[in-house]
Amino acid sequence: MKNSLKKKIHHAVGKAIFDWNMIRDNEKILVGISGGNDSHVLLNILFSLKKKAPVDFEILPVHIDAGFDGSFAEELGRYVENNYGCLIIEYKDYGILAHSRENKENPCFLCSRLRRNKLFEIAKEQGCKKIALGHTKDDIIETLFINMAYAGKIATMKPRQSFFDGTLDIIRPLAYVEKKDIVRFAKSSGLPEFKNNCPSADKTKRTEIRHMLEDLYKHNQNIKGNIFRSMGNIVPEYLLGNQI
């Protein structure tokens, strides 16, 4: 099962990279490592692809410690160093700031924005033109519903998004991979998963949306794929933005 699952994920990642022109020759790619299954599988797959890819690219793993009690940064650093090479660790207080009294309503948004901005800074300092994040097909679908339900807009994360006039791209090589396959692959490969020490973990709007979608998927196995394809099959004349 492990080999067939790895082949399936490799194929999906390769297709995403090809479809969205994610990686070019002689690029240096910053890979955001959270400590969860998604980022560990992303790092594992990218290093595997690097060995046989037709283009040469460099991988720079980076972890942003948000400042919560129970930090696993040092343990994560040892694991990455033993298996892949050096891990850049930045110790910040972003999580503490995001959970302050002044920001009770949406701690996840602020923490995420601060961590992303720090990744932008590190990428610039290290000469990286790409930042690879471990978002999956499920994350992209969930973001669509979060934006519709809580922001009143139809938008999601793209597999590749450009910033700063195209000088830096965020890429999501796992964009075509389902979360359930990530979990199975991580377990069968013995990849570590570090417990999320954020006090808001599993209490977010994303968690609510995820549970809603999981209930929906139970009724029809084609629903997830149909929703994902619909984001690239837009019919503007049947949206409210087009007024006669």
Q: Sketch the domain layout of the chain as residue ranges.
A: 2-238
Say if residues 31 and 39 touch (Cβ distance below 8 Å).
yes
Say if residues 27 and 58 touch (Cβ distance below 8 Å).
yes
Residue 105 has pLDDT above 80, yes or no: no
* Confidence bin at 115 (pLDDT 50/70/90): very high
Answering whether pTM is above 0.85, one says yes
* Amino acid (1-letter code) at residue 160: R
Of the listed ranges 58-62, 104-108, 225-229, 240-244, the least confidently predicted one is 240-244
**Token duo for residue 87:** 């891990």
At residue 58, the pLDDT reads: 96
Residue 222 has pLDDT above 90, yes or no: yes
Q: What is the mean pLDDT of residues 6-32?
A: 96
At residue 202, the pLDDT reads: 77
Of the listed ranges 96-110, 125-139, 158-172, the least confidently predicted one is 96-110
Q: What is the mean pLDDT of residues 20-29?
A: 96
159-212, pLDDT tens digit by residue?
999 999 999 999 999 999 999 999 999 999 999 888 888 887 777 889 999 999
Question: How many other β-carbons are positioned within 10 Å of the β-carbon of residue 173?
Answer: 30
Say if residues 45 and 8 touch (Cβ distance below 8 Å).
no
Residue 130 has pLDDT above 60, yes or no: yes
Residue 109 has pLDDT above 90, yes or no: no
Q: What is the mean pLDDT of residues 229-239?
A: 93
* Amino acid (1-letter code) at residue 85: G
Residue 106 has pLDDT above 80, yes or no: no
31-58, pLDDT tens digit by residue?
999 999 999 999 999 999 999 888 999 9
Task: Domain 2-238: give its CATH architecture.
Answer: 3-Layer(aba) Sandwich (3.40)
**Residue-averaged pLDDT of the chain:** 93
* Confidence bin at 144 (pLDDT 50/70/90): very high
Sign, CA torsion 165/166/171/175: positive
At residue 2, the pLDDT reads: 67
Give Cα separations from 203 to 69, 125, 187, 207, 209 (angstroms): 18, 34, 24, 6, 11
Rounded to 5 degrees, what are φ and ψ at 200? -95, 5
